[in-house]
Amino acid sequence: MDQFLQSIFGDSILTQLLLGVLPLVFVLVYALVTLYSEMKIAAHIQDRLAYMRTGWHGVLQPFADMLKLLQKEDIIPTAADKLLFILAPYVVFIGTYAAFAVLPFSSAYAGSSLDLGLFYIIAVSAVVVVGILMAGWASNNKWSLFGAIRSASQIISYEIPAALAVLAVVMITGTMNMNEITKFQAGGIQNWLIFGGPLPLGHKLFLLPVMIVLALIYYVCSMAEVNRTPFDIPEAESELVQGYNTEYTGMKFAIFYLAEYANLFVVSAIAVVLFFGGWSSPFGSFMSGPIWDLFWFTFKGMLLVFVNVWLRWTLPRLRVDQLMYVSWKVLVPFALVCVVLVGAIMVL
C-alpha cells in the first residue's frame, strides 16, 4: 500500500497523511456497520425487529442517528472544568485511534511496522483511561466521577492479565512486531497460535490447552478494557446513570461512542493477531493475497466483535468487587501459570 501511494503521490507528506487517514475511514465505516449490526443482533436476541423504517431494513438509521447527534445542542455544564471537559473525548479517541497505527490490516498495509508494536499498543490504550478520568472529573458530577474512578481501577486491573497473555505470545514468536507475529502463523488454521502455532507436534500438543486458556484470558480482559457487559461497570446505566459521559451531549458524546466502538475493534484485532493468525488465510495459500488478507483480518475482527455483542445482550453485569476478584484472583494467577508453562514448553 505504501508503495502504491508513493507511486501516485511520490515521497511527499501527502502520502504519509493518506496512510494515516486510511484507518480513520475504516473506523468511521466500521462504526456505522457495527452500530447497525449491534442493534440488529440485539433485536434478534430479544425477539424483535429493531430499525425497519429508515431505508431497507433500517440501514440508514446509523446515518440518521449521526445527523441527530450533529444537530444536538452542545451543553457544557456551568460548574464543569471547561478545558478538561472539552478535551476529554478527544483524548479518549486519540488513545484509541493511535492503536490503529500498528494494526496490520493486510500483508500490504500496516500503518507502521513497528518492532515494538504490541508494547506500543498496550501503552497507548492506557491513554484512554486518562481521557475517561478527565471526563469524569471535569463534569463535576458525582456519578461521572464514580464512573471515571471505576473505569481507571478496572482498566489498570485488567491490563495486567492481558499483558501477561501478550507476553506468552511474545515468548513463542520472539517478536513484538505485529506483522511478524502474523507471518509466524501463516500457512493455515493449524498454524494459528491458539492451536499452538507452527511448532513441532509434541510442542503443539502441550501448548494447545495453554493457548486456549490464554486466548480466553485475553478476550475477557479485552471486554473489560472496552467497558462492555458484563464489565460495563464504568457506565453501568442502572447505577451510575451513564458513568463518565453522563454530562456529554451532541458530538462530544458521539466521539465517546465512536472511541468505544473503535476500541472494541482494536482489542478484537489484537486478539486476532495474537491468537487467530492475523490477516493470514485459514486455508494456507488459498484465498490469500493483499485484498484477501484485508478481508480475513476484518472478518476475524468482526467475528470477535460479534461475540462481544452477543455476550453484551445476554449477560448481567458484575459488581465492582467481583470484577476485581475476577481479575486479581482468577485471571492473574491463571495467566502467570500459563506464562510459566509456555516458557517451560518453549525451553524443552
Q: Cis omega (within 30 of 0) on the bond before 230?
A: yes
Interface with another protein in residues 74-103 (CB under 8 A): 78-81
Cα separation, 125 vs 159, whole angstroms:
10
Helix (H, G, I), strand (E, B) or coil at 64: helix
Contact 331, 323 (CB under 8 A): no
The interface mask with another protein, positions 32-71, x = CB under 8 A, is ----------x--xxxx-----------------------
The only residue of 13, 321, 347, 348 in contact with another protein, by rule CB under 8 A: 321
CB of 235 to another protein, least distance (A): 11
Q: Which is nearer to another protein, 26 or 310 (CB)?
A: 310
Contact 222, 121 (CB under 8 A): no
110: left (phi over 0), alpha (psi -120 to 50) or beta: beta
Q: How far is CA 236 from CA 151, 186, 316, 322, 323, in A?
A: 11, 41, 11, 14, 13
Q: Which is nearer to another protein, 10 or 316 (CB)?
A: 316
Q: Which three cell numbers stand for residue 145?
A: 466521577
- 77 CB-near residues (< 8 Å, 6+ apart): 85, 139, 140, 141, 247
Q: Which is nearer to another protein, 68 or 319 (CB)?
A: 319
Nearest one of 196, 234, 233 to 342, comparing CA atoms: 196
Nearest one of 60, 83, 99, 29 to 258, comparing CA atoms: 29
The interface mask with another protein, positions 105-144, x = CB under 8 A, is -----------------------------------x-xx-
Piece of 5-13, 84-92, 162-170, 226-234 that binds another protein (CB under 8 A): 226-234
Torsion on CA atoms 310, 329, 123, 212, rounded to nearest 10: -50
Piece of 67-75, 173-181, 239-247, 286-294 that binds another protein (CB under 8 A): 239-247
Nearest one of 241, 118, 121 to 169, comparing CA atoms: 118
Residue 330 interacts with another protein (CB under 8 A): yes or no: no
Q: Which is nearer to another protein, 107 or 246 (CB)?
A: 246
Residue 208 interacts with another protein (CB under 8 A): yes or no: no
CB of 30 to another protein, least distance (A): 23
The interface mask with another protein, positions 149-188, x = CB under 8 A, is ----------------------------------------
The only residue of 56, 73, 238, 348 in contact with another protein, by rule CB under 8 A: 238
The footprint of another protein (CB under 8 A) covers: 42, 45-48, 78-81, 140, 142-143, 146, 229-230, 232-233, 236-241, 313-322
